Structure 1
Amino acid sequence: MTISMNYIGAHIKRDNSGGIIETMNNIRNNGGNALQIFVSNPRSITITNIDSYVKKSQDIRKYLAENDFKLVIHAPYTINIAKDATEGKRVMPLEECIWIKLLINQLMLADMMNAEGVVLHCGKHVSLSYEKGLNNMKMGIEYILKIMENKKMKTKLIIETPAGQGTELLKDLNDFVAFFNGFSKEQKKNLGICFDTAHTWALGYSLAEAYNILFKKNSKDITVIHLNNSLVKKGEMKDRHSVILDGEIPVAEMNDFIASLSSSSSKSATHIPTIILETPSDNYEMEINHIRNLLD
């Protein structure tokens, strides 16, 4: 099967009987060359044993290189990077925070496997003020980036555009971009953006509007695109995905967006971001071929 240089795939839950390589083969059999996975229970704060991945990671790196394949890891949903570093009334140093340790663990696994990075949801300020939550998120990311620099990691921490649910931070995409660009050029070596089309739609942006905001200044920083349609009306601020050709986002708008990724403005980044379908489907091959045809 011939696969072009654009990286397109899906988030697939691994079968208990198979591993990551078997799941990558599943994607290849459907015409894809990219996979997003969880490396631990997404609803748990359990830290994965790094040693258990030493041999696996060697095989995965070899597979990625030999098959020109991309791997992305999604962080557990349990991580709230905007949370106060406290335990009861005790203020903890960041290195003691379980969500910080869990995220560093995920990044170490990603680096071992030569994955592009770990996708992280924006934090929620919950009962804190917006400003306090945002400051916590900034400090947490800066701490993690310093650890990544010290460990000479090549992988990225990839911040995902929010859907705007509840007290989620950075619901204005201009604020999201400003937050991201508040990090230094050196820090951005280990930092990326994940553009989720269902999320930006839920925030109230057309795909063209979201594209213009995110790509205008940050085309080189967009590492991953979660290509999803949505089950909700534009601006409803709910995270409900649908397959790309069936949802509230008009098919013509979705097609125009996909085609725009191969335009000269996108190619200023020297690449098209890795495209991941996140909605379970019985027809990944059709969806992947549809995307490739629009990119060609």
Structure 2
Amino acid sequence: MSRLVGAHFSISGGLFEAARRAGALHCNTIQIFTKNSNQWEATPLLEADIVRFQNECSAQGVRLAFSHTGYLINLATAEDGVHGLSMRSMMQELKRAESLELPFIVVHPGSHKGAGEIVGIVQVVESLKELIDDTEGFRVKIALETTAGQGRSMGYKFEHFDEIFKRLPAKYMKRIGVCMDTAHIFAAGYDIRDKKGYVATMKSFDDLIGIENLLAIHLNDSAKDLGSRVDRHENLGKGYIGLDAFTMLLRDKRFFNVPFVLETPKVDNDANDKKNLRIIRKIVGDI
């Protein structure tokens, strides 16, 4: 069976167009936004749009589709106004993903905005509890994404996830997971460029988060150096991480069933995606 590999695809023209774009590049996995990523509200999904998206995924050989939430959502803030809007928007995201039968959605934990990391952790925990309680019976999971640590964002330390998970009872953890972003963890200070650093990083991830909780991997090189705490993605092999790290990651048997999705810089055509996918396929060899 081929590995789950793809990219983030635009929904311009309709949700189904993301599947068409994936099919053109022979991708069996897609990440999408289900709404405008820079707006709080969204127009309702029509049943016809849902059916067309699902049919197109089937026609194009897309085996796995999942979504990324909008960028405005902040589950870590204690500021009532922003947090209230974030929870409302997150509920919309969950309902849309459930309607589309997506297995999980990826979300950045958010920023504590100066209140401190402990406050941020508690806010994320309470937010997740409320969201899962309010969507009882849903199957869609929430994948918290590792971050670069830019500004006051949470999720740049594996310890943040450990603290969040320790505070969540088992019934909530059934619908919680993690998305690892290679550019983010590198910018946050996790050196995966050589075998020693890679092994140490993945051991820390497994010890604190648990590989069993890993739902997806964003495969991105970094335009900024190790520990920069700056989130800037680069094409594979063109940034500070380099191809050795991606080779180790893609050939790590622990991740053979985990979807890998590119979020590398786009150009007007598919040239960058094609180059990056070619690199992945050369490393993996069975796609």
Tell me, yes or no, whether TM beats 0.5. yes
Partner of 2:49: 56
Unmatched runs of 5 consecutive residues or more in structure 1: 89-93
Q: Secondary structure of 1:226's match?
A: strand
Conservation of the 8 A alpha-carbon contact between 2:8 and 2:31: yes
The one of 6, 16, 27 aligned to 1:32: 27
Amino acid at match of 1:167: R
> TM-score, normalized by length of structure 2?
0.87
1:237-283 Cα offsets, whole Å, 9 max, x none, are: 000000112100022222222212xx2xx16xxx5211110013424
Matched, 1:71 2:65: yes
1:73-109 Cα offsets, whole Å, 9 max, x none, are: 1111111111225249xxxxx8xx2210100100111
Of 227-236 and 52-61, more deviation after overlay is shown by 52-61
Partner of 1:122: 109
Conservation of the 8 A alpha-carbon contact between 1:192 and 1:222: yes
Distance 1:175 1:134, change over 3 A: closer
Runs of 4+ in 1 over 4 A off after TM superposition: none
Report 1:259-278 matches (<5 A): 259-260=251-252, 263=253, 266=254, 272-278=257-263
**1:181 positional shift:** 4.5
Task: Name the CA distance, whole Å, in 2 between partners of 1:180 and 1:5.
Answer: 32
The one of 207, 231, 237 aligned to 2:223: 231
Task: Name the CA distance, whole Å, in 1 between partners of 2:185 and 2:58.
Answer: 33
Distance 1:62 1:220, change over 3 A: farther
**1:201 positional shift:** 0.1
What is the count of residue pairs matched by the alignment?
Answer: 273
Conservation of the 8 A alpha-carbon contact between 2:186 and 2:222: yes
Task: Name the CA distance, whole Å, in 1 between partners of 2:171 and 2:28.
Answer: 30
Report 1:88-237 matches (<5 A): 97-148=84-135, 150=136, 152-207=137-192, 208=198, 209-216=200-207, 218-237=210-229
Conservation of the 8 A alpha-carbon contact between 1:31 and 1:285: no
Conservation of the 8 A alpha-carbon contact between 1:53 and 1:109: no
Distance 1:82 1:57, change over 3 A: same
Percent identity over paired residues: 22
RMSD over equivalenced CA pairs, Å: 2.2
**1:223 positional shift:** 0.8
Task: Name the CA distance, whole Å, in 1 between partners of 2:36 and 2:275.
Answer: 29
**1:158 positional shift:** 0.9
**1:228 positional shift:** 0.2
Distance 1:186 1:5, change over 3 A: farther
**1:65 positional shift:** 4.8
Task: Name the CA distance, whole Å, in 1 between partners of 2:160 and 2:118.
Answer: 12
The one of 245, 256, 261 aligned to 2:248: 256
Task: Name the CA distance, whole Å, in 1 between partners of 2:163 and 2:111.
Answer: 18
Partner of 1:6: 3
**1:63 positional shift:** 3.8
Of 200-209 and 277-286, more deviation after overlay is shown by 277-286
The one of 278, 284, 288 aligned to 2:273: 284
